[in-house]
Amino acid sequence: MYRVGIDLGGTKIEGIILADNNKEIFRKRIPTEQQKGYQQIIRNIKTLYDEAAAYIKNQPHTLGVGTPGAVSKKTGLIKNSNTQCLNNKPMYKDLQKKLGRDFRLENDANCFALAEALEGAGKGYRMVFGIIMGTGCGGGIVYEGRVLNGPQSITGEWGHHTIDPEGNDCYCGKKGCVETYISGTGLENSYQRLTGCKKAASEIIKDFHKADPPAEQCMGLFFNRYGRSVANLITILDPDIVVIGGGLSNIRELYTIGRKYVEYNTFNDSLETPIVCNQLGDSAGVHGAADIGI
């Protein structure tokens, strides 16, 4: 049976179709258009799904959708999404009605972690912690090939543990969340606080590699906070491997300088946990969505 996956991101919505041999036979990306609001996102998902279904002539298939945030078990509404127009909306019910079929809705970081555990850098490991470091910070835990959700659907929400209770304001309403420091947005904000200048994360990283002093200072703070944050999750969970995805996963010093900070802050006399870059790139989330479909 074909497997259709749709991954909802802040700037793009991606859809794929996987055949029985796990071969990808269809892929397309369209803009999210979150600035046009919640209903436009629902329409865009519908448009992409219809095109995918037509490609396989509406033959039997499963469907999984990855989204920022999660469905609250208390209200049935989306919560904790950094695509904030989704919060407090009945996304599952609205999509179910719009698509005219059942499907599984899952947190996008969980989809990433699952794909890397089944097909990517975490394959063969019993417990995989998948980290997304992009515009925001997300996380997911896969144990023996299955996503862990927990009774509140917040398992792995690593980006919203606090490393400074007097720190930066977060959209979630708390202060000092990991996401406010070591996401792309957090890095840009840190640089602006240090220098008074606004610069894209990609440019800050380029300047760091050119030994630019302000960028070096900013990245020094970044690696320190990264080390403390990852050490916290390793000390609590002790996963078999940590796999990093998202745009910032390509910073090569995460796996050298950053790892030294992780080791220093971990509650052990050595750091045995592999901390590795993803293997599936930005395909991981949509592959995971296809893997969890019903």
Tens digits of residue pLDDT in 203-247: 999 999 999 999 999 999 999 999 999 999 999 999 999 999 998
What's the number of domains the chain is made of? 2
Classify residue 206: in a domain, yes or no: yes
Classify residue 261: in a domain, yes or no: yes
What is the pLDDT, as a whole number, of residue 283? 82
Same domain (yes/no): 51, 188: no
What is the pLDDT, as a whole number, of residue 9? 86
Q: Taking a C-beta distance cutoff of 8 angstroms, is the pair 294, 65 a contact?
A: no
Tens digits of residue pLDDT in 46-81: 999 999 999 999 999 999 999 999 999 999 999 999
Classify residue 115: in a domain, yes or no: no
Residue 292 confidence class, pLDDT cut points 50, 70, 90 = very high
Residue 30 confidence class, pLDDT cut points 50, 70, 90 = very high
What is the pLDDT, as a whole number, of residue 82? 85
Mean pLDDT of 258-262: 98
Which sign, positive or negative, has the C-alpha torsion 16, 17, 23, 25? negative
Same domain (yes/no): 142, 197: yes
Same domain (yes/no): 258, 216: yes
Same domain (yes/no): 271, 140: yes
Same domain (yes/no): 287, 270: no
Q: What percent of the chain has a predicted confidence (pLDDT) above 90?
A: 91
The answer, yes or no, to whether residue 21 has pLDDT greater than 90, is: no
Mean pLDDT of 91-109: 96
Terminal Cα distance for the chain, rounded: 11
* DSSP string across the chain: -EEEEEEE-SSEEEEEEE-TTS-EEEEEEEE--GGG-HHHHHHHHHHHHHHHHHHTTT-SEEEEEEESSEE-TTTSSEES-SSGGGTTS-HHHHHHHHHTS--EEEEHHHHHHHHHHHHSTTTT-SEEEEEEESSSEEEEEEETTEE--TTTT-TT-GGGSBS-TTS-B-TTS-BSBTHHHHSHHHHHHHHHHHHS----HHHHHHHHHTT-HHHHHHHHHHHHHHHHHHHHHHHHH--SEEEEESGGGG-GGGGTHHHHHHHHHSSSSS----EEE-SSGGGHHHHHHHHT--
Tokens representing residue 40 in the block: 């436009």
Classify residue 71: in a domain, yes or no: yes
Q: What angle do CA 94, 99, 102 make, to 5 degrees?
A: 85
The answer, yes or no, to whether residue 100 has pLDDT greater than 90, is: yes
Same domain (yes/no): 144, 206: yes
| Residue burial 175-213, b: 16+ Cβ < 10 Å; e: rest | ebbbbbbbbbbbbbbbbeeeeeeebebeebbebbeeeee
Range of the domain at 147: 123-278
Mean pLDDT of 289-294: 92
Classify residue 251: in a domain, yes or no: yes
**Which one-letter amino acid corresponds to residue 286?**
V
What is the pLDDT, as a whole number, of residue 189? 96
The answer, yes or no, to whether residue 89 has pLDDT greater than 90, is: yes
Classify residue 13: in a domain, yes or no: yes
Same domain (yes/no): 155, 170: yes
The answer, yes or no, to whether residue 10 has pLDDT greater than 90, is: no
Classify residue 221: in a domain, yes or no: yes
What is the pLDDT, as a whole number, of residue 180? 96
Looking at every residue in the chain, the average pLDDT score rounds to 95
Measured distance CA(157)–CA(138) in Å, rounded: 6
Same domain (yes/no): 127, 106: no
CATH number at residue 214: 3.30.420.40
What is the pLDDT, as a whole number, of residue 11? 84
Classify residue 117: in a domain, yes or no: no
What is the pLDDT, as a whole number, of residue 72? 93
